Amino acid sequence: MTNTLIDDAGLTSAGVPKIRFDRVSKVYDTDSGQPVIALSETSIDIAEGEFLCVVGPSGCGKSTLMQMLAGFHHPTSGRVLLDGVEVRRPDAERGVVFQQANLYPWLTTRGNVELGPRIRGVGKAERRTRAEHFLSMVGLAAFADRKPYELSGGMQQRAQIARVLANDPEVILMDEPFGALDALTRERMQVELLQIWRERRKTLVFITHDVDEAIFLGTRVLVMSARPGRVLMDLPTRLPVEIPSAELRTHPTFVELRDTLTEAIYRAQDGAAQ
Ligand SMILES: Nc1ncnc2c1ncn2[C@@H]1O[C@H](COP(=O)(O)OP(=O)(O)OP(=O)(O)O)[C@@H](O)[C@H]1O
């Protein structure tokens, strides 16, 4: 695992951004023969330790962006670089939380959470400790021995999040991970995720439809335009740390950010309607 320092320009000690989308575009071929331009040529640099949230209308290419960073899809043009090296395939150092949970049905919840560390050679006792820690973090300690089909959709999603965190990847990619959760659980998971990010300084890329969630979590928010996607707004969102969390959402800085982002998303949607 690399452990590089970030300089003021957001570069790692190797002198490169942690993640770079270098003039990346994506066109999907379809069965109808009509290609879909999911992403226009886009360049984005993401610093090590940054918490980047991506918002934008449905179908604007957010998941496509993430799938290319994960290594599941390849750009049609341009390159996606991690630590200056082109991403070509999925890797355990990039943990992905998908919109839908994808647990292995033949393993217990605990077995699912322990699998990644097991593959990476983590010893049995340490694996068990990690699994227990993250399962209780997501409120599933009592369900460790259950199979996925015995869990609700929201519980499966929380198990998926525990599985990715237990694997301790350098970069965490989350595609609307909290969309299926009830409001209270969602809020708790947001706080926990922020805590993990603060403690471990992972580089995090997080897709959401929820502007408040993006402001609460992100150090920076990208607003993408309607398809073909491109970056419409790139806004640093670091909130003053002294704001008590109960007052956060009504704090003038938060309200101002919300207004700016909401207006940009409306603009992006208007583009979609034309
Ligand atoms: N495998 C694929 N084959 C063909 N078209 C695809 C494929 N994956 C995505 N698309 C198309 O590319 C565009 C971007 O899709 P993508 O899933 O990246 O959008 P999104 O912004 O994540 O959407 P949502 O917010 O609804 O999840 C859409 O028009 C979608 O229909």
Query: What value of ipTM does the predicted structure carry?
Result: 0.97
Give CA–CA dist 260/53, Å, rounded: 15
- 81 Cβ contact list (under 8 Å, min separation 6): 16, 17, 19, 20, 22, 87
Q: Which pairing describes strands 203-207 and 85-86: parallel, antiparallel, or unpaired?
A: unpaired
CATH superfamily of 47-75+84-93+170-273: P-loop containing nucleotide triphosphate hydrolases (3.40.50.300)
58 lines ligand 1 (CB under 6 A): yes
208 lines ligand 1 (CB under 6 A): no
- Report whether pLDDT(135) > 80: yes
Q: Model confidence at 181, in pLDDT bands (50, 70, 90)? A: confident
Kindly report the protein residue whose alpha carbon is nearest to atom 30 of ligand 1: 59
Kindly report the protein residue whose alpha carbon is nearest to atom 31 of ligand 1: 59
What is the predicted pLDDT for the residue at 1?
30
Identify residue 180 by its one-letter amino acid code.
A
Tell me the CA–centroid distance for residue 256 and ligand 1, in Å: 30
Outline which parts of the chain fall under CATH 3.40.50.300: 47-75+84-93+170-273
Q: Model confidence at 153, in pLDDT bands (50, 70, 90)? A: confident
Q: Model confidence at 5, in pLDDT bands (50, 70, 90)? A: very low
Render pLDDT for 163-174 as a digit per residue (tens, 0 to 9): 999 999 999 999
Render pLDDT for 55-70 as a digit per residue (tens, 0 to 9): 998 888 999 999 999 9
3 state DSSP class of 7:
coil
Tell me the CA–centroid distance for residue 61 and ligand 1, in Å: 6
**Cβ pair 205, 174 in contact under 8 A:** yes
- Report whether pLDDT(92) > 80: yes
- Report whether pLDDT(250) > 90: no
Tell me the CA–centroid distance for residue 233 and ligand 1, in Å: 20
End-to-end CA distance of the chain: 46
227 lines ligand 1 (CB under 6 A): yes
Mean pLDDT value of segment 61-85 = 95
